[in-house]
Amino acid sequence: MKMIHCGDIHLESPLSTNFDHATALKRRNELLVSFIKMVKYAADNRMSAILIAGDIFDTPDVSRETLAIVMACIMKNPEITFIYLPGNHEKDVLLRAFSEMPANLKVFSAEQKMFVVENVVVAHADRPEELPTLYPGDMNIVMYHGEMDDARIRAWAGRNINYMALGHYHSYSEGVIDPRGVYCYSGCLEGRGFDECGPKGFVVLDFENNTLNRYFVPSAVRTIHEVIIDVTGLGGIEKIDEEIEKRVDELSREDMLKIVLKGSYLAGDSINTGFLQQRYNSMFFAVRVDASGIRLDMPEKDYRFDKSLKGEFIRQVMVSHDLSEAQKQMVVDMGLRALAGERL
Ligand SMILES: [Mn+2]
């Protein structure tokens, strides 16, 4: 018997802070496509249940179309039991959508804290002390939407839990609760912004002979790849570009790219991030260049006793109270290039 554990699908996310209007619309549809794909995967593999650990929707104001597609998906797959834990974003929107609840949709509430699928117990509590009693002879899953830290892990320990199906964090991660149980965040199905890089998908739980095996299935329509480039010692923009080109060579052009520049560069080598943005945007679905982590390499000894105009200029900028560190670096960089006769 197999189940899927997923969560944080965030259908109807606006996505407007990360993408332009057309791209955001496309990605919104892809979130829904990804959900349908997952349900089809469950149906094709004859799975018994899909556990949704919260945040299927991003908002309680879900459009009629999205709601209709999700409802149809549930009703067209009566052999799959959908066990749904409402998250912090969506309230009871799915519950209110149905005038009559389909038999294969089970929703946790204050009154209903446990379901049984074949011989597997699926329970929920917001706090460990509110958990219904779980028996050592059963296979016990607990669904929970929220954070896990050391104190919480200790509080959930010793309650005969085999697996905690968690939602809230948007990347896959796992850990040990006690000698019997593990917890796992499935992460979301799709990266929704450049802070959600890496493989996204769902977890398959495989119960065989009363033991539980699990594996992560990457399933995103598009992945956001993070490429970190240390610019230290690379020299000019053409070398940085060359390095990026090498690193993205194998990536699918349908995917998204986050280029993170770090390290330091020498005065006069300032980095035209607009060029990198433009160039890779024309190659990938969407690109973000993050140059906030690079700094100008300007050791104090190089300018402190420098009697030239260059030294005086740097000292003036560095003592300025009106400029942030980043602004100082930018002004020094521009100034030095101007002094070197470069056209800016
Ligand atoms: Mn979430």
Based on the fold, state whether residues 327 and 204 are members of the same structural domain.
Answer: no
Based on the fold, state whether residues 264 and 172 are members of the same structural domain.
Answer: no
Based on the fold, state whether residues 278 and 190 are members of the same structural domain.
Answer: no
Q: What's the pLDDT tens digit per position in 91-105?
A: 788 888 888 899 999
Residue 276 pLDDT level (bands cut at 50, 70, 90) = very high
User: For position 308, what pLDDT does the model report?
Assistant: 85
Contact partners, residue 249, CB within 8 Å, separation at least 6: none
Q: Which of 218, 235, 258 is the last residue of a domain?
A: 218
Q: What's the pLDDT tens digit per position in 4-16?
A: 999 999 999 999 8
What is the 169 CA–ligand 1 centroid distance (Å)? 6
User: For position 310, what pLDDT does the model report?
Assistant: 84
Backbone angles phi, psi at 49, to 5 degrees: -150, 155
Ion ligand 1: residues, CB < 5 A: 8, 55
How far is Cα of residue 162 from the mean position of the Cα atoms in its chain? 25
- Cβ pair 137, 154 in contact under 8 A: no
Measured between alpha carbons, how far is 168 from 88 in angstroms, rounded to an integer?
9
Task: Answer whether residue 136 shows pLDDT above 90.
Answer: yes
Measured between alpha carbons, how far is 10 from 12 in angstroms, rounded to an integer?
6
What is the 193 CA–ligand 1 centroid distance (Å)? 13
Please, is 257 exposed, middle or buried when counting C-beta atoms within 10 Å of its C-beta (0-12, 13-18, 19+)? buried
Based on the fold, state whether residues 119 and 168 are members of the same structural domain.
Answer: yes
Cα within 13 Å of Cα(215), Cβ side: 5
Based on the fold, state whether residues 189 and 276 are members of the same structural domain.
Answer: no
Based on the fold, state whether residues 280 and 309 are members of the same structural domain.
Answer: no
Kindly compute the dihedral angle of the four CA atoms of residues 327, 328, 332, 338, in this order, to the nearest 10 degrees: 40
Based on the fold, state whether residues 191 and 266 are members of the same structural domain.
Answer: no
CATH code at 201? Answer: 3.60.21.10
Residue 183 pLDDT level (bands cut at 50, 70, 90) = very high
Number of domains present in the structure of the chain: 3
CA angle 130, 102, 91 (to 5 degrees): 50
What is the 229 CA–ligand 1 centroid distance (Å)? 29
Based on the fold, state whether residues 27 and 141 are members of the same structural domain.
Answer: yes
What is the 9 CA–ligand 1 centroid distance (Å)? 7
What is the 336 CA–ligand 1 centroid distance (Å)? 47
What is the 114 CA–ligand 1 centroid distance (Å)? 22
Based on the fold, state whether residues 251 and 200 are members of the same structural domain.
Answer: no
Q: Is the pTM of this model over 0.85?
A: yes
Based on the fold, state whether residues 13 and 112 are members of the same structural domain.
Answer: yes
As given in the structure block, the two tokens for residue 210 are: 């009363």
Based on the fold, state whether residues 113 and 37 are members of the same structural domain.
Answer: yes
Range of the domain at 319: 298-344
Q: Residue 91 to residues 56, 66, 226: CA-CA distances in angstroms?
A: 10, 16, 33
Q: Which of 260, 279, 296 is the last residue of a domain?
A: 296
Q: What's the pLDDT tens digit per position in 318-332?
A: 888 899 887 888 888
What is the 165 CA–ligand 1 centroid distance (Å)? 14
| Comparison of pLDDT for 292 and 44, the residue scoring more | 44
Task: Answer whether residue 344 shows pLDDT above 70.
Answer: no
What is the 87 CA–ligand 1 centroid distance (Å)? 8
What is the 121 CA–ligand 1 centroid distance (Å)? 24
What is the 55 CA–ligand 1 centroid distance (Å)? 5
- Cβ pair 6, 50 in contact under 8 A: yes
Task: Answer whether residue 303 shows pLDDT above 80.
Answer: no
What is the 56 CA–ligand 1 centroid distance (Å)? 8
What is the 242 CA–ligand 1 centroid distance (Å)? 37
Based on the fold, state whether residues 179 and 286 are members of the same structural domain.
Answer: no
Measured between alpha carbons, how far is 4 from 165 in angstroms, rounded to an integer?
10
What is the 88 CA–ligand 1 centroid distance (Å)? 8
The contacts found for 149-154 with CB under 8 angstroms, 24 or more apart, are 152/128, 153/177, 153/183
What is the 54 CA–ligand 1 centroid distance (Å)? 7
User: For position 293, what pLDDT does the model report?
Assistant: 87
